[in-house]
Amino acid sequence: MKKGKRMVKRTKKYFYPAAIFIAATLCTAVPAAGGAGLSENVHHSAGQKAAAALLAEPAAPNGGRGSRVQPAEDSASRSRVAIIIDDFGNGMKGTEEMFALPVKFTVAVMPFLPTSVKDATRAHEQGLDVLVHLPMEPRQGKPEWLGPGAVLTRMSDAEVRKSVEAALDNVPFAIGINNHMGSKVTGDERVMGIILTVCKERGLFFVDSHTNYRSIAGKMAQKMGLPPVENHIFLDDVHTSGHVAKQMRLVQERALDQKYCVTIGHVGIQGKETAAGIRSGIAELKDSVEFVGISELVKDQWKWNSSVTLP
């Protein structure tokens, strides 16, 4: 992986920016180094495909397999793509470029960072969905990469609950949570149970970023009556706009095959590159798929209505 040389904007007040910057680049990469072979391939693993097939609704007659381009029809019949951009909250590179994208996407904001509240508020004012991008312990990597407010498996039940609630209270307008890193926590039934319970109590849903293909988050969510939402494709595990644009074509295929696709990109050291790739992908895909916020997808795909009332 390329390593960005340009360093972080540091402030005296916050120790975290540098650490988060590293974490952002590792958000997807840590699991890749985890020995389980978790890489781009994993995002299309048989397990995931089976799960996706299980969850996908029957294809509409006009959207069968093999049809790569759908005619522009009413939006109800079009395949949908929900792009989630992770790692907002720390004034990362690419923030402006992402906010300038010409379609709806979802803004995942890390708690307790210098621009957490600002980014969440801005997203909400722009009509975009907000998720809390909750730092969660990975199987590998240093705890300080996680940033403030992280959920760790060594915490007691009460401590996990307190962390999740504090993060939710810190990021305004959030309609759900997705995980920053978290390959260890998303495999831990006790800790995931508490996170999902808090989601349920507050009328929120959990999006599994899928940094661990053995994640139990989706199954547990389903058992608890929450929508089993998960990321299908990481856009920027290679940080070039060309790779991101290529990934956007995979997103299109996936969306046309199963009627919807959830995909994740990042602001961060290479955030501008990612934004450029997404922008060119949008231009390419916009006639065949519809770009929606994650709330719209969750509502239509799983008939799940948030009980959160936003101002």
Q: Name the residues that contact Zn ion, by CB under 5 A.
A: 27, 86-87, 180
In the complex, least distance from residue 57 CB atom to Zn ion, rounded to whole angstroms? 29
Choose between 87 and 236: whose C-beta lies nearer to Zn ion. 87
Provide the 8-state DSSP code for 151: B
Question: How far apart (Å, rounded) are the C-alpha atoms in residues 118 and 199?
Answer: 23
Q: How many CA atoms lie within 13 A of 254 on its CB side?
A: 23
Choose between 192 and 256: whose C-beta lies nearer to Zn ion. 192
In the complex, least distance from residue 162 CB atom to Zn ion, rounded to whole angstroms? 21
The angle at the Cα of 289, spanning 283 to 291, to the nearest 5 degrees, equals: 75
In the complex, least distance from residue 237 CB atom to Zn ion, rounded to whole angstroms? 12
Q: Give the residue from 171, 179, 149 showing the smallest Cα distance to 86.
A: 179
Question: How far apart (Å, rounded) are the C-alpha atoms in residues 254 and 148?
Answer: 35
Choose between 3 and 12: whose C-beta lies nearer to Zn ion. 3
Choose between 167 and 285: whose C-beta lies nearer to Zn ion. 167
In the complex, least distance from residue 131 CB atom to Zn ion, rounded to whole angstroms? 11
Choose between 79 and 95: whose C-beta lies nearer to Zn ion. 95
Neighbouring residues of 189: CB distance < 8 A, sequence distance ≥ 6: 216, 220
In the complex, least distance from residue 164 CB atom to Zn ion, rounded to whole angstroms? 16
Q: Which helix (H) or strand (E) holds 230?
A: strand 229-230
